[in-house]
Structure 1
Amino acid sequence: MRHGGLWPNRFTAFMPLVHRTMPMNPSTLIGITASVLLLATVVLFTAQTPSSFFNFPGLAIVITGTLAATFISYPMREVVRVTRLVGLVFRRENSRIDEDIQTLVSMARHWFRGNIRAIEAELEDTRNPFLRTGISLVIANTQDDEIHDVLRWRIARMRAREYAESQIFRTMATYAPAFGMLGTLIGLINMLEVINGGDLTVIGPRLAVALMSTFYGILLANLLFKPIAVKLERRTEERLIEMHMVMEGVMLVAKRRLPSFIEDTLHSFMAEHQDEIRGPAPRTDAPDADARKQEETVA
């Protein structure tokens, strides 16, 4: 029983090491592995020769046509910028919500005490530009409504830009099957020419080659373009939650609310599925009762 009780602790201690040594997003890694296994199963166990699933002209029609239609639909700079975002789908991004909360609480304590120089020094080490902009407006004695408008405009601009980027991949997911059908039609036209020649033995192979274009189009749309779009949209949603959390914290700092109240409010943004009556255990890093009492006394 003793050894059995130690196993969960050892496993829990091992998980942070796994996350540090795994730069790729775990869900993306699982999806890629499952896709490779699926394609390997299809190629190896459903065809007499694996080479029958490779059709270079059909693949070229789908890829070239999809890229050409995408460049026609969107400006060059947007397409180039989106290609650089593909790496975000495969890379595991560590959330800095805890770091932002601690930074906001620390700055709230300085602002509560009127120590502007300490805030300016801490702003230089802040990695979140959105948080840095908000606190800079606060220490500049900007009106609360103006701070709120500026931060909301920054959020709206980020949302519009990133949703437009994910929309490009959704557009490519629409184009790929269409050009797959185009490749199939081209193959059928060539097959009809062979039929006119009287050689009926090549109908089957030519038809298989023609259908491969549709196969490539559906495969690229549903295993590449559309998953990338969904992943980018999910990333945008998470970033929006973080930005709204930071905006709420900045507004509370501007109103000179107690740092302990600000910390409790911001931590509520981190609770995904939390019972409002039976919440999680108290945080060990939260200010103790004496610190809260001291803040209330100062107020």
Structure 2
Amino acid sequence: MDKTTLIGAVGGWVIIAFAIVLGGAGFGAYIDIPSVFIVFGGTTLVIVGHFESSDLKRMSKALKVAMNEVKTEPVPELIEKIIYYATEIKKHGVMSIEQKVLAETNPFFKEAFQLLVDGTKPDLLQPLLETKLEHMDKRHSVIHQMMGNIGGVAGSMGMAGTLIGLVAMLANLSDPAAVGPAMAVALITTLYGALIGTLFAGIFENKLVQKHKVEVNACEIIIQGATMIAAEESIGNIKMKLNAILVPEAA
């Protein structure tokens, strides 16, 4: 479980709930069925219209990724492992790492070093891995865009609900009993839209982007390491180039 995601996602809603309790009006005053239909229903339908069904089905998996810790190895450990494999290949040949590669749990690392075992040349290995990374980036960007759209659409639907409520209120100024419900729709839809955009879409979008950056960075290190090994560069050069990636705190 990613504690920062949990703290942000749950803690934000707790703060809002606490504020409602302190306000003294109770939760009932903040529940409005027309507003729920406008913001939650409207946002859902618009997002369904924006994206392909295959992308929408990946939403639940993306939320799980945001809520769980990144499984990518820390950069220092990843670099150390690449240098270890490079050393083994220099000493005993590329086939000496075959069984270890098959046991790897990182699919990108496993595929990169399997290409080494298969004898793939560096001028072919690097483009293959970069193409794989590019496709991964495209898949992830669709989910990031979806989260961003949810926040934007929820805000727009909240504004639409506000206008609907204001029109209903102005049309019924002569009927005091109708003014209250119309004003509730006008205000609560804006609140719903802001909460969805900030405490749901905003948190998950930014967390997914951060995790994506970590994964891409690890993949780029793997590509660089595997390419240098395929080009039969010296262990010293490989170590120096990979360690140059480390930030001072991690080096």
> Per the alignment, in what secondary structure is the counterpart of residue 245 of structure 2?
helix
Corresponding residue of 1:190 = 168
* 1:257 corresponds to 2:233: yes
Q: Could you say if the C-alpha distance between residues 63 and 201 of structure 1 is closer, same or farther in structure 2, counting changes exceeding 3 Å?
A: closer
* 1:141 corresponds to 2:115: no
Deviation at 1:205, TM superposition (A): 4.9
Distance 2:197 2:29 in 1: 21
Q: How many residues align?
A: 250
**What is the Cα-based RMSD across aligned positions, in Å?**
2.3
> Per the alignment, in what secondary structure is the counterpart of residue 179 of structure 2?
helix
* 1:90 corresponds to 2:60: no
Q: Which residue identity lines up with residue 142 of structure 2 in the other structure?
A: A
* Equivalent of residue 206 in structure 1, options 163, 178, 182: 182
Corresponding residue of 2:217 = 241
Distance 1:210 1:103 in 2: 58
Q: Could you say if the C-alpha distance between residues 161 and 33 of structure 1 is closer, same or farther in structure 2, counting changes exceeding 3 Å?
A: closer
Higher deviation after alignment, 253-262 or 212-221: 253-262
Q: Which residue identity lines up with residue 217 of structure 1 in the other structure?
A: G
Distance 1:49 1:100 in 2: 52
Deviation at 1:37, TM superposition (A): 3.5
Q: Could you say if the C-alpha distance between residues 216 and 140 of structure 1 is closer, same or farther in structure 2, counting changes exceeding 3 Å?
A: same
Query: Structure 1 residue runs of 4+, over 4 Å off?
Result: none
Distance 2:114 2:27 in 1: 62
Q: How much identity, in percent, do the aligned residues show? A: 22
- Flag structure 1 segments of 5+ consecutive residues without an equivalent: 1-23, 281-299
Contact (CA 8 Å) 2:94, 2:117: kept in 1 or not?
A: yes
Higher deviation after alignment, 179-188 or 65-74: 179-188
* Equivalent of residue 78 in structure 1, options 37, 55, 60: 55
Bigger Rg, which one: 1
Q: For residues 168-222 of structure 1, give each alpha carbon's deviation from its aligned partner in whole angstroms, at most 9, with x where no partner exists.
A: 1101111101111222233233333432xx3335524531332101110111011
* Equivalent of residue 67 in structure 1, options 44, 47, 56: 44
Q: Which residue identity lines up with residue 42 of structure 2 in the other structure?
A: G
Corresponding residue of 1:218 = 194
* Equivalent of residue 151 in structure 1, options 126, 129, 136: 129
Which protein has greater RCO, CA pairs closer than 8 Å, 6+ apart? 2
Q: Could you say if the C-alpha distance between residues 126 and 99 of structure 1 is closer, same or farther in structure 2, counting changes exceeding 3 Å?
A: farther
Distance 1:267 1:148 in 2: 20
Deviation at 1:163, TM superposition (A): 1.2
Contact (CA 8 Å) 1:111, 1:256: kept in 2 or not?
A: no
* Equivalent of residue 229 in structure 1, options 205, 216, 230: 205
Q: For residues 3-58 of structure 1, give each alpha carbon's deviation from its aligned partner in whole angstroms, at most 9, with x where no partner exists.
A: xxxxxxxxxxxxxxxxxxxxx21211321343133212331223433321111220
Deviation at 1:99, TM superposition (A): 4.9
Higher deviation after alignment, 55-64 or 37-46: 37-46
Contact (CA 8 Å) 1:252, 1:262: kept in 2 or not?
A: yes
Contact (CA 8 Å) 1:62, 1:216: kept in 2 or not?
A: yes
Contact (CA 8 Å) 2:122, 2:228: kept in 1 or not?
A: no
Deviation at 1:89, TM superposition (A): 1.4
Q: Could you say if the C-alpha distance between residues 42 and 202 of structure 1 is closer, same or farther in structure 2, counting changes exceeding 3 Å?
A: farther
Q: For residues 130-157 of structure 1, give each alpha carbon's deviation from its aligned partner in whole angstroms, at most 9, with x where no partner exists.
A: 2222222223332211111111111111
Q: Which residue identity lines up with residue 31 of structure 2 in the other structure?
A: F
Task: Calculate the TM-score normalised by the size of structure 2.
Answer: 0.88
How is 1:16-165 mapped onto 2 (pairs within 5 angstroms)?
24-97=1-74, 98-165=76-143
Higher deviation after alignment, 94-103 or 106-115: 94-103
Task: Calculate the TM-score normalised by the size of structure 1.
Answer: 0.75
